[in-house]
Amino acid sequence: MVAHKQMDHEEAANDRVMFGFWVYLMTDLLMFAVLFAVYAVLKDSTAGGPAGRDLFRLPLALQETLLLLTSSFTCGLGMIAARQGNKRQVLGWFGATFILGLAFLSLELIEFAEIIHEGYTWQTSAFLSAFFSLVGTHGLHITFGLLWMAITLWFVVKRGLTNNMVRKLALLSLFWHFLDIVWIFIFTIVYLGAFV
Amino acid sequence: MSKLPEHNMPKGDHGATRSYVVGFILSLIFTAIPYYLVVNKALSSSVLLIVILAIAVIQMLIQIFFFLHLGRGPKPLYNIFFFAGTVATILVVVGGSVFIMNNLHHMVPAEAAKKLIEKEGIYQINGEKTGACQGVHSNHKVTIKNDIVTPVYIEARLCDTLTFINEDEKSREMTFGSHPRHASYGGESELAVRKGRSKTVTLNELGTHQFHDHLDPGVAGSFTVIE
């Protein structure tokens, strides 16, 4: 009975933490929404420079999408393993998530480098300013997520799957799924939209 | 709470795995469809845009349902309300911005747009040349000192610039045309030049034009702009 009460208490605390993090995600979503609005308004303001269809490569964008989508999936499986208390599986699935996320980030940086190498930067036009702001902000989130994941996994290795750790992983996976959802809109509006 | 015994495991575990697998497969399908449509230009532009946006929203709902498990189970109702509020705000901000900016683009009267283009020296809008001046051209200086204009006559080429430099201890209102019949030039009807300051105008109208100080019509000169 006492143990039961303790669980309830812990569950309530978990719920509060989850809700707090959810509120953060929603405000982050608002920020992305504003960046999307800016992009939608400025995407034709190329100031004589290149437009999206001259710069973007759809196969590359598709690869990035598949990498992030798959990482979101492995992250979910890692979460199931965490709830079951299976440490080896947690490390395996989240490790895969980390590698897929790193691959995604590398492709994105390669794409940025190619565009800049062709002589176009965020200073070239309002369109490119908006593009780099929107996609770069997402990339920064991914970078931060990867750091967070690396640190959390390190703690899982050191301390094992405590309740506290499972909660941290749950927040991390929420963050990761969220970034995947934002990316769907970047893929659709920025990349596919440029070729419509 | 290390490993839960097999029989005590939450019933949903197999269901949870299945939910992720189903969500993943659906997500792949809803990524492939818009990609295929866009690459093959399967629909006309305006329809295609609406279709891929709709698919993105479906994709989002799939992931929210199958990955975030929002709306499954009785508990996280407040999360849904908060999410709905956020979506409403986003619709207002994004939808409103796009709507207003498109309207602005289509509905600014041509005359007002032309004036603005001349004034701001905008030489391109959405990839179309406006005819306004661009690039580097020479600059001509008219210095006003002790109420004397030097030089009083300037010959310039189209798109050159003309700078009025006021070296006297009083403000001037440089106006075009002859006093008191004022005319506007290059989108400017009057250039207020404070003491010790200067003002520049782009010479984007051909022909001979006069200028003078509205406050002191004796201070005057003229310029001719040729092609």
Token pair recorded at residue B39: 């690459």
Nearest-Cα distance to chain A for B202, in Å, is 20
Q: Is B115 left (phi over 0), alpha (psi -120 to 50) or beta?
A: alpha
CB contact under 8 A, B35 and A192: yes
- CA A56/CA A128 separation, integer angstroms: 12
Nearest-Cα distance to chain A for B32, in Å, is 9
- CA A45/CA A158 separation, integer angstroms: 52
Residue B57's Cβ-count burial label (10 Å; 0-12, 13-18, 19+) is middle
* The predicted structure's pLDDT at residue B3: 39
Helix, strand, coil percentages, rounded to 5, for chain B: 40, 30, 30
Please name the residues in contact with B212: beta carbons below 8 A apart, sequence gap of 6 or more.
B174, B175, B178, B179, B218, B219, B220, B221
Residue A122 domain flag: yes
Question: What are the angstrom distances between the C-alpha of A6 and each of A127, A171, B39, B117?
Answer: 55, 22, 56, 70
CB contact under 8 A, A84 and B9: yes
* The predicted structure's pLDDT at residue B195: 87
Nearest-Cα distance to chain A for B104, in Å, is 11
Question: What are the angstrom distances between the C-alpha of A85 and each of A2, A81, A82, A122, B57?
Answer: 23, 6, 5, 46, 34
Nearest-Cα distance to chain A for B65, in Å, is 11
Token pair recorded at residue A177: 């799924």
* The predicted structure's pLDDT at residue B177: 82
What is the extent of the structural domain holding A141? 2-38+56-194
- Per CB-CB distance under 8 Å, the chain B contacts of A63 are none
CB A20 within 8 A of CB A170: no
> Which of A67, A69, A178 should be substituted to probe chain B, the one whose Cβ sees the most B Cβ atoms within 10 Å?
A69
Token pair recorded at residue A148: 């967070």
Residue A80 domain flag: yes
* The predicted structure's pLDDT at residue B1: 38
* The predicted structure's pLDDT at residue A136: 97
CB A43 within 8 A of CB A186: no
Token pair recorded at residue B56: 């993105």
Query: B128-129 and B148-150: which strand pairing?
Result: unpaired
The DSSP letter of residue B7 is: G
> Which of B35, B93, B105 should be substituted to probe chain A, the one whose Cβ sees the most A Cβ atoms within 10 Å?
B35
- If one counts the domains in chain A, the total is 1
Using DSSP's 3-state secondary structure scheme, residue B214 falls into coil
CB A53 within 8 A of CB A194: yes
Nearest-Cα distance to chain B for A149, in Å, is 18
> Which of A181, A183, A185 should be substituted to probe chain B, the one whose Cβ sees the most B Cβ atoms within 10 Å?
A181
Q: Per residue of chain B (227 residues), give pLDDT as tens.
A: 343 433 334 445 667 888 899 999 999 999 999 999 999 988 888 899 999 999 999 999 999 888 887 766 556 678 888 889 999 999 999 999 988 888 877 776 666 776 777 666 666 665 565 666 666 688 899 999 988 998 999 999 888 888 999 998 888 988 888 777 777 786 677 788 888 888 888 887 788 888 998 888 889 999 998 87
Residue A6 domain flag: yes
Higher pLDDT, A21 or B105: A21
- Per CB-CB distance under 8 Å, the chain A contacts of B51 are none
| Average model confidence (pLDDT) across chain A | 91
Q: Is the model's pLDDT at A17 over the cut of 70?
A: yes
For residue B104, what is the nearest residue in chain A, using CA coordinates?
A: A41
Please name the residues in contact with B213: beta carbons below 8 A apart, sequence gap of 6 or more.
B144, B172, B173, B174, B175, B219, B220
Higher pLDDT, B124 or A50: A50
* The predicted structure's pLDDT at residue A140: 97
Question: What are the angstrom distances between the C-alpha of B192 and each of A54, A179, B143, B170?
Answer: 45, 53, 15, 11
Q: Which fold has domain B139-226?
A: Immunoglobulin-like (2.60.40)
- Per CB-CB distance under 8 Å, the chain A contacts of B83 are 22, 26
Residue A51 domain flag: no
Choose among B198, B148, B196, B190: nearest CA to B173: B190
- Per CB-CB distance under 8 Å, the chain A contacts of B4 are 84-85
Q: Which amino acid is at A122?
A: W
Does the N-terminal peptide bond of residue A59 adopt cis geometry, omega within 30 degrees of 0?
Answer: no
- Per CB-CB distance under 8 Å, the chain A contacts of B98 are 37, 40-41
Nearest-Cα distance to chain B for A164, in Å, is 11
In this complex, the residue of B24, B85, B101 whose CB is nearest that of residue A73 is: B24
For residue A173, what is the nearest residue in chain B, using CA coordinates?
A: B68
Token pair recorded at residue B82: 């908060």
> Which of A31, A73, A186 should be substituted to probe chain B, the one whose Cβ sees the most B Cβ atoms within 10 Å?
A73
- Using only C-alpha atoms, chain B has a radius of gyration, in whole angstroms, of 33
* The predicted structure's pLDDT at residue A6: 62
Alpha helix (H) residue ranges in chain B: 12-39, 45-66, 77-90, 96-107, 110-120
CB contact under 8 A, B94 and A86: no
- Which CATH number goes with the domain that contains A163? 1.20.120.80
- Per CB-CB distance under 8 Å, the chain B contacts of A23 are 82
Range A161-189 average pLDDT: 94
Higher pLDDT, A106 or B104: A106
Token pair recorded at residue A180: 């995947």
Instruction: Please list the residues that pair with B216 across neighbouring strands.
Output: B213
CB contact under 8 A, A58 and B39: yes
CB contact under 8 A, A72 and B53: no
Using DSSP's 3-state secondary structure scheme, residue A160 falls into coil
